[in-house]
């Protein structure tokens, strides 16, 4: 297992057991796999950031990564 720092924004935070923070995942897990494992509907994730940089869902997570997932934010 590896540990990442998982931050789920806005309505996605309900899919983290504690709202956000340290989260254990199996080695070689991709962002897309994690989204599925968390039970997040894939269409609700519009933006993925790993360590402050935009990433694609097929990117494999590494120990210590900071992962942020965003729904579409469009209000004015």
Partner 1 sequence: MTIDPDQRYVRNFNTLTRAEQDRLSKSHVAVIGLGGLGGGVCEFLARTGVGCLTLVDGDCFDATNLNRQLLSREDCIGSPKATEAGKRINTINSSIRVHLYQAFIREENILEMIRGADLVVDCLDTIRDRFLLQAAARSLGVPLVSGAIAGVTGQVSVIFPGDRGFELIYGSQPESVGTGPDQGRGIETRTGNISYCAGLIAALQASETVKVLLGRGEVLRNKLLVADLWTNTIEVMDLV
For the bound state, the minimum distance from the C-beta of residue 39 to partner 1, rounded and expressed in Å, comes to 17
Q: Which of residues 5-34 bind partner 1 (CB under 8 A)?
A: 7, 9-11, 20
71 binds partner 1 (CB under 8 A): yes
Chain position carrying tokens 């540990």: 3
Q: What is the DSSP string of 30-48?
A: BHHHHHHHTT--GGG--EE
Q: Which residue, 34, 52, 40, 36, is CA-closest to 10?
A: 40
Instruction: Pick the closer one to partner 1 by CB: 36 or 71.
Output: 71
Q: Which of 36, 49, 57, 59 binds partner 1 (CB under 8 A)?
A: 49
């Amino acid at each position: 297992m590896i540990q990442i720092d998982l931050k789920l924004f806005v309505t996605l935070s309900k899919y983290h057991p504690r709202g956000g923070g340290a989260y254990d995942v199996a080695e070689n897990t991709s962002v897309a796999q994690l989204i599925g494992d968390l039970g997040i509907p894939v269409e609700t994730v519009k933006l993925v950031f790993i360590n402050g940089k935009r990433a694609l869902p097929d990117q494999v997570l590494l120990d210590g990564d900071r992962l942020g997932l965003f729904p579409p934010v469009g209000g004015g």
